[in-house]
Amino acid sequence: SLPAPEDVVEMPGEGVLGRIDARQVIVGGEDFVAQRVANAAGEHPQLAAGSLMVAVAVDGRLAGHMVMSDPLRAGAGEMLARLREQGITRILLATGDRVEVADRVTQGLGLDSIHAGLTPDGKVNLVLVERQTGPVMMVGDGVNDAPALAAADVGVAMGARGAAASADAADVVLLVDRVDRIAPGIEIARRARQIALQSVVAGIGLSVLGMIAAAFGYLSPVQGALLQEVIDVAVILNALRALRISPSGIDAPKNQIEGATT
């Protein structure tokens, strides 16, 4: 069993400090750890393309490095193609990883721009810049993404394995750890909005017509009340059509669409 860390201090986008079994432990980027230990950073193997190195220090001395590699999520290419088909014209990548990692992971995806080495503040600034030209949807799953998710017009968090902070800051949470659910989620939202607008316009329009007819004496109070009930039932039945939305590419019952919650 792992001991619980104490006195944990997190520097977003840089690293974390804490005490484990009365020993001071620092984990983070090479520069972040090197600034807090007595000995200079030691030599380490040449990183392979697409890998990331994290330095670890214990009691003020560099203990070693961990090399990690993050593969591209399955279905990312198909998801981006579907987003293009749905009218999203500009797709960017904002990451805290090195440029080499971002370039390798995104090869062949056809992104409009890649912004690597960003801090959480850098991601927020990128969102604010892009908002000057149109609405922005931000997708993320880490603690470092939470500020940008909150700053975007629509924040989408990967809730299955993502950080709780990103889920709290987002407007939409994907309940499965599959990035290809973003495009169906947009399709569900757009169809549900269309149905909602239909219900609002039809309900208000028919009610206004009924009021005009009653004002000219064509409907008695009882008839007007009954007509309003009929209008309400019709609008509710129309709104229930949202339960039957079944976006393309999802194998699920029409009334049990897996993917998004707001």
Cβ distance 130 to 92 under 8 Å?
yes
For residue 126, give every residue at least 6 positions away whose Cβ sits within 8 Å of its Cβ, in sequence order, or none. 92, 94, 115, 118, 148
The correct answer on CATH 3.40.50.2300 for the domain covering 76-180 is no
Which structure tokens are listed for 209?
Answer: 């017509």
Is the pLDDT at 58 greater than 90, yes or no? yes
**Distances, alpha carbon 149 to alpha carbons 117, 131, 146, 173, in Å:** 18, 13, 5, 11
Is the pLDDT at 128 greater than 80, yes or no? yes
More confident residue, 199 or 247: 199
| Count of positions (residues) in the chain | 262
**pTM, full prediction:** 0.63
Average pLDDT, the chain: 84
Average pLDDT over residues 171-187: 84
Around Cβ 192, how many Cβ atoms within 10 Å?
16
CATH superfamily of 6-69: Calcium-transporting ATPase, cytoplasmic domain N (3.40.1110.10)
Find, among 12, 28, 21, the residue nearest to 65 by Cα.
28
Cβ distance 110 to 88 under 8 Å?
no
pLDDT digits (tens, 9 = 90+) for 11-33: 887 899 999 998 999 999 888 88
Phi, psi for 44 (deg, rounded to 5): -145, 160
Q: What residue segments make up the domains of the chain, in order of their start?
A: 6-69, 76-180, 184-261
